[in-house]
Amino acid sequence: AKISGSSGWCFFDTSMPEQVRERSEIDAGLRIALEQDQFVLHYQPQVDDDGRILGAEALVRWLHPQQGMISPGRFVPIAEQNGLILPLGNWVLWAACRQLAHWADDPRLAHLTLAVNVSANQLAQADFVDRVLAALTETGAPAKRLKLELTESALAQEIESVIDKMNQLKEHGVSFSLDDFGTGYSSLNYLNRLPLDQLKIDQSFVQGMLQDTNSAEIAQMIVLLAERMGLSVLAEGVETPDQQVALQKRGCHQFQGYLFGRPMPAEEFERMLLGRD
């Protein structure tokens, strides 16, 4: 915004609302961050009923040279608007595949799956399938261990094209999970046509289910829907044993949340698995 002041024109007036200022700082900083490789992936365990680690979700962090670690909630939405989510998403994909390739070399880690978040804009790219296959092939990551997390907004594009891309990747062994399920625009009509493997119960329902019957009923409905469609179901944002029990009672047997582990650097995740240290 151009603001006319006594000294002429200036671009960043001190009266500029804090949020707008932060936004343009992040916008400019992201371009540098991509050039200078300031991103890192953290890994949050996904577990079964017995707490056995089935895999992880990769969650990006920005290691800002001055501000320290910045969470994706502050920069992913901005990157989605200014187009930088494409190079950022590609960086995430490659970093995740390198990690998978590394795990594949260790018989104690080779079973792990890695879930990677994919934005609507990424999925919309005409060459999305080629990009994923290139990352897998060139890193040597096993496609069977890669799970792509889509949100309902990612599916709000031409559905035939989405289905086609998903099927092409599934032929290579890649699987798909529907993230934040129940919070966005869902059509049960297309849900049925998508070649999904998993529904992810959003943490808002998990955290609400002991307080309000609505959340509990929605969680129950998602489990039944998944069963009916032959999909697995995973609950995220599980923080307490009571929440885990409530989910188990409703037929959910895969979990992710602070109860089992926060998102952590790769080395820490591997130590947790190998039981050393």
Q: By CB under 6 A, is residue 180 in contact with ligand C2E?
A: yes
- The correct pick among 80, 152, 180, 270 for binding Ca ion (CB under 5 A) is 180
Which entry of Ca ion, ligand C2E, none binds 55, CB below 5 to 8 A by partner kind? none
Residue 184, token pair as written in the block: 């966005």
b (16+ CB within 10 A) / e for 167-190: eebeeeebbbbbbbbbeeeeeeee
- Name the nearest CA neighbour of 269 among 10, 34, 54: 54
Which entry of ligand C2E, Ca ion, none binds 261, CB below 5 to 8 A by partner kind? none
Q: By CB under 6 A, is residue 119 in contact with ligand C2E?
A: yes
Question: What are the phi and psi torsion angles at 18 (to 5°)?
Answer: -50, -45
Residue with smaller CB distance to ligand C2E, 62 or 103: 62
Which entry of Ca ion, ligand C2E, none binds 239, CB below 5 to 8 A by partner kind? ligand C2E
Taking residues 70 to 99 in sequence order and writing x for each that binds Ca ion by CB under 5 A, - otherwise, the string is ------------------------------
CA distance 144 to 112: 10
Q: Footprint of ligand C2E on residues 35-64 (CB under 6 A)?
A: 44, 59-60
Instruction: Identify any residues that bridge with 255 across adjacent strands, giving them in sequence order.
Output: 47, 235
Closest distance of CB 114 from Ca ion, Å: 12
Closest distance of CB 99 from Ca ion, Å: 16
Residue with smaller CB distance to ligand C2E, 16 or 260: 260
CA distance 203 to 183: 10
CA distance 194 to 205: 23
* Strand, coil or helix: 2: coil
- The correct pick among 56, 123, 149, 255 for binding Ca ion (CB under 5 A) is 149
Q: By CB under 6 A, is residue 261 in contact with ligand C2E?
A: no
Q: By CB under 5 A, is residue 117 in contact with Ca ion?
A: yes
Residue with smaller CB distance to ligand C2E, 150 or 225: 150
User: Distance between the two ends of the chain, CA-based, in angstroms?
Assistant: 53
* Strand, coil or helix: 240: coil
Amino acid at 209: M
Sole window of 8-16, 68-76, 221-229, 244-252 interacting with ligand C2E (rule: CB under 6 A): 68-76
- The correct pick among 3, 20, 32, 71 for binding ligand C2E (CB under 6 A) is 71
- Name the nearest CA neighbour of 194 among 215, 179, 210, 212: 179
Interface with Ca ion (CB under 5 A): 117, 149, 179-180
